[in-house]
Amino acid sequence: MSANGGTKAIIAALLANVGIAVTKFIAFLLTGSSSMLAESIHSVADSGNQGLLLIGGKRAKREATPQHPFGYGRERYVYAFIVSIVLFSLGGLFALYEAYHKWADPHGINSWQWVPVTVLVAAIVMESFSFRTAIKESNLIRGKQTWVRFIRRAKAPELPVVLLEDFGALVGLVFALFGVGMTLVTGNGRWDAAGTAMIGVLLVVIAIVLAIETKSLLLGEGAEPTDLAAIEQAVTGGPEVERIIHMKTLYLGPEELLVAAKIGVPACETAEEVARDINAVEARIRAAVPIARVIYLEPDIYSVAAERAGTGSAAATAVPQPDPAAGADDAHPSGEIAGRPGS
């Protein structure tokens, strides 16, 4: 799906941010610009974040264990959430602190005045290449979705994170260029502080958006409506199942979906027939939605009366209680699949 594309976008962003961070730090040391310092820390935070995404992707590939029987796919969500925290604290809050400090003690850029402008323009060019790579890789899986819907609904967190980081980096560079440029023109260091504050607010907003979206993934999201409809069609598309009594889905990771359903089967089927039918239904589900790798189907007998009672299961309401006077062979425990006469 998006694993390879996400990795490519992450590596492109990492290489760009490491180079940009070094040049920004040099520019800050030469000029003392707070915007340059905020942008330097921003690039360092972005580089660390891309490293975290790579680590999360690698750790998510570990095999399942008895302690974690569904594997480690969600670890990618955990690291994406950590990225939002780093971006908020190291990027956004630091920039706001630096803006406050520079506003209280403003000073212009009196030496190496050409350096920050040159560095920022070069950084915009390099960041644009990284952003272009993220857009290109995202378009491979985005389809006809809007960018907002893609970021909100994507199950693989890497591409939305890189997209938002690169977008924030480009806008932040424009803010920094504005603050530095106005400071050079007016000699008033508070323009530099204003640019730094704008960078801080931008990073905080992006971090909050990332935290909200990754929190939803961590809590557990179900299948998209299109996949859900395909699964329902696969279950009921053959003669084996009369209807779906209820069904739930859950993403165990960006590329692994759990499907659990209680299905209504004909009352006269034997256990062997039910088992064979379930295997056929599972095969159809995997063919319709390949990421549905973990499937649990519970056969039951559907009852209209039970549906009105809120259970949908005939076994829960319609199976008579065993007669204490009857023999053990006449008693049928609740939920047992009735066999055919003479079977």
One-letter amino acid of 24: K
Model confidence band, residue 315 (pLDDT cutoffs 50, 70, 90): low
Give dist(CA 16, CA 126) in Å, integer: 6
Sheet holding 292-300, edge to edge: 243-253, 256-264, 292-300
What integer best gives the mean pLDDT of the chain? 82
Residue-wise pLDDT tens digits, 244-271: 999 999 999 888 999 999 999 888 778 8
**Going by C-beta distance under 8 Å and a sequence separation of 6 or more, which residues neighbour residue 136?**
none
248 membership: H or E segment, kind and range: strand 243-253
Give dist(CA 37, CA 206) in Å, integer: 19
One-letter amino acid of 214: T
Report the predicted TM-score, pTM, of the whole model to 2 decimal places. Answer: 0.73
Residue-wise pLDDT tens digits, 169-206: 899 889 988 988 888 888 888 888 898 899 889 989 99
